[in-house]
Amino acid sequence: MKINVGEQLSTTVYLVPEGTKLEMISDEAAQYALNHLKFKGNLNEKFIYLGPNTDNIVVVGLGHLDHLTKDHYVQAAYTAAKVLNEQKVESTSVQIKPYGTVDEKNTLQGITEGFLQADYSFDTYKKEKTKYSLTSVSLLTDLKNAQEAIEEVRLLLEAVNVTRDLVNTPANDLYPETLANKVTDLFKDTDVQVEIFDKQALEELGAKALLAVSQGSSKEPRMLVLKYLPLGDEEPVISLVGKGVTYDSGGYAIKSAKGMSTMKTDMAGAGAMIGALHAIVSNNIQQNVVCVIGATENLISGEAFKNGDIIHTLKGTTIEVINTDAEGRLVLADVLYYAATKLNSKYIIDAATLTGAVIAALGQNITGTMTNNQSFLDKVTAASKTAGEDMWQLPITPEFREKIKGNHADLINSSINFVGAGTIFAAAFLEHFVEDVPWVHLDIAGTSYASSNGNKYLPKGASGIPVKTLYEFVKNVK
């Protein structure tokens, strides 16, 4: 889809808050809407007046003016795009009009995103490809540098779709080696330095927890270190750490068939960090960022690690494996410690499909957040609100720092004697490996993938969360 600043076309989209007088838009259309449809402007409420002898307009509600945000423009524009595609409209103009506290640039960018969100589908494996009629959008605005603002959003959504494509790709095609190859190709001819640790390099490094998880698979693990350093090698970096379990059977704590059906998505944290870095690089954001990915499969064989094993880590901490299906935190133990000690990390953010417990606590549309540094998390949360990606903080208390301690090893990887709060237990475990570097943990088990229709404007399948939040944070943090 091409989106540009342009001219008035034969079809026009208007996005209006509650209470807007439709007479301001079109007398004939307004009279019909008010008399027969009682259009009020509720969020995503639609008034469609298309076809011969009409004004060829689509009006979509933004909701209550007092609560209006940029994300409401995204939702309403997405709704308009879906309507236009259903009506086989090929091009439209959109009236850019800010309301409430949303300024014109955010209005423009929200509308741009909404149309682009409606243009994604994952049909790589389908014979019949998805076809959308709407191919051209003309934004009516006098905003200075409007085209640059549009391009920023286009590149950001391109990166979100990189994440979606990675997460949606099945595990027979995406495994540690092919993930590394895709990332190498993605950042070819950019300023990103790509370093790939194969099994031998991981053994030499001492990443024994990551290696333990990989033992059951014939596919060897990888650790990816992607360095983007526009400020120079000596300046601190923001480290983005991702869990990249490209398939998770649960190991000997085997999942059910239903539970395994979407376990190709257990690398969504890695996919999000790769997409975020792609957005940062494409938009030439001047921040030092390093992405660290631990990639492995968690399968069963005669070589697989087992419940009851005691394994070592890059840090030197020993871990008693209570549950082989709590493998993501073992992978992250090594890559978080690498980010904390081998890189000049000012901040560390990890994203992982870590616990089913976060879904029980927050549902499928809210990411769980935890931290060792409140002011840092506050900045990430502010970025998430700008991005329209809902997040909620859970605590890490001294009680849980005690509960992760083991009897026969330094730590245990899963709870034994208590029920519930698995998300907090896992975060307390991860905290042990960040060495007091300011750190935020994002548990995206619920938000990274939707088996049915996605939330708001997100597609079925991979959502691309939290790429937009990470981009906003990195772009604006001081």
> Residue written as tokens 């709407």?
134
Separation CA 64–CA 96 (nearest Å): 18
Separation CA 406–CA 58 (nearest Å): 62
**What secondary structure does DSSP assign to 100-147, as a single string?**
TT--HHHHHHHHHHHHHHTT----TT-SSPP--S--EEEEE---TTHH
Q: Decide if 255 is catalytic.
A: yes
Cα separations in angstroms, 331 against 270, 295, 314: 12, 8, 10
Q: Which of 344, 335, 159, 374 is nearest to 238 (CA)?
A: 344
Q: Omega of the bond prior to 98 within 30 degrees of 0, cis?
A: no
Separation CA 179–CA 197 (nearest Å): 12
Q: Are strands 310-312 and 439-443 parallel, antiparallel or unpaired?
A: unpaired
Contact present, 140 and 8 (Cβ < 8 Å):
yes
Q: % helix / strand / coil in the chain, to the nearest 5?
A: 40, 20, 40
Out of 82, 154, 227, 329, which one is annotated catalytic?
A: 329
Coil, strand, or helix at residue 368?
A: strand
Determine whether the annotation assigns residue 148 to a binding site: no
Contact present, 270 and 295 (Cβ < 8 Å):
yes
Helices assigned H by DSSP within 215-354: 257-260, 268-282, 328-341
Beta strands in 168-251 (DSSP E): 192-197, 222-228, 237-248
Beta strands in 141-235 (DSSP E): 192-197, 222-228
Determine whether the annotation assigns residue 182 to a binding site: no
Determine whether the annotation assigns residue 266 to a binding site: yes
309, with CB counted inside 10 A (0-12, 13-18, 19+), is middle
Q: Decide if 329 is catalytic.
A: yes
Determine whether the annotation assigns residue 410 to a binding site: no
DSSP state of 285: -
Handedness of CA 266, 267, 273, 274 (dihedral sign): negative
Out of 97, 182, 219, 255, which one is annotated catalytic?
A: 255
> Residue written as tokens 């059906």?
261
465, with CB counted inside 10 A (0-12, 13-18, 19+), is buried
Determine whether the annotation assigns residue 243 to a binding site: yes
DSSP state of 331: H
- Binding site per annotation, positions for Mn(2+): 243, 248, 266, 325, 327
Q: Which residues are catalytic?
A: 255, 329
